[in-house]
Amino acid sequence: MSKYLYVIIPLLAMGAFIGFYMHESKKLDEEYRIKAEADAAKAKADAVRLEQMREQSRIQAKLDAEKRDAEQRKKDDEIKAKYEADLKKLLDEAAGYVSDQNSYKAQIADLQSQIDKLRGEKENLSRQAIAMNQTIVSELINRQNAETQVQLYAARVARQVSDSPLARPPPPPPTTTTAQ
C-alpha cells in the first residue's frame, strides 16, 4: 500500500485542489459576472446620464445661441437705427445746405444786379464828374481870360489916362516976384 499512497495522495490533493479551484473559479466568475453587470449597469447609467447631459448641453447651447442671436440682432438693430438716424441727420443737413446754397445764389444774383446797377451809376457819376471838371476847367480858363482882359483893359485905360492931357497936372503957376 505504501506504493499506492504515492499515487493516491497526490490524486486526492489534486482532486481537492480541483474542487477548491472549481469552487473559487465559480465564485470569481460570479463576482466577475456581478461586477460586469454592475459595470454594464453603471455604463448604461453613465450613457443615459451622458446622453441627458448632452441633451441639456444641446438645449443650453441652443438657448445660448438664441440669446447671442437676439443680442446680435439687438446690436444690429441699434447700429441700423443709429445709422438711419445719422443718415437722416446728414440728409437733413444736406437739405439745409442746399436751401442755404439756393438762398445764397439768390442773394448773389441780387447783389450782382445791385453791383451792376451801382457800376452803371458810378460810370454816370464819373461821366458827370468829368463833364463838370471840363466845365470847371473851361470856366476857370474863361475867368482867367476875363481877368487878363480886365487887366489889359485896365492897363490900356491907365495908359490912355496917363497920356491924356487931363490926367496931367497943370503946370505950376508962374511965380511973380514983387519987388519991394
The answer to whether residue 109 sits within a structural domain is yes
Q: Which domain covers residue 159, as residue numbers?
A: 11-163
Task: Quick: pLDDT tens for 3-51.
Answer: 888 888 888 889 999 999 999 999 999 999 999 988 888 889 989 999 9
Q: List Cβ neighbours of 167 (8 Å cut-off, separation of 6 or more).
A: 161
Within-domain flag for 19: yes
Reply yes or no on whether the pLDDT at 180 is more than 60: no
Residue 150 lies in a domain: yes
| Cβ(10)–Cβ(3) below 8 Å | no
Residue at 5 is within a domain: no
32 assigned to some structural domain: yes
Nine-digit cell string for 100: 442755404
- Is residue 179 in some structural domain? no
Provide the domain count of the chain: 1
Q: How far is CA 180 from CA 173, 174, 177, in A?
A: 21, 18, 9
pLDDT tens profile 48-105: 999 999 999 999 999 999 999 999 999 999 999 999 999 999 999 999 999 999 999 9
177 within some domain: no
Q: Is residue 180 part of a domain?
A: no
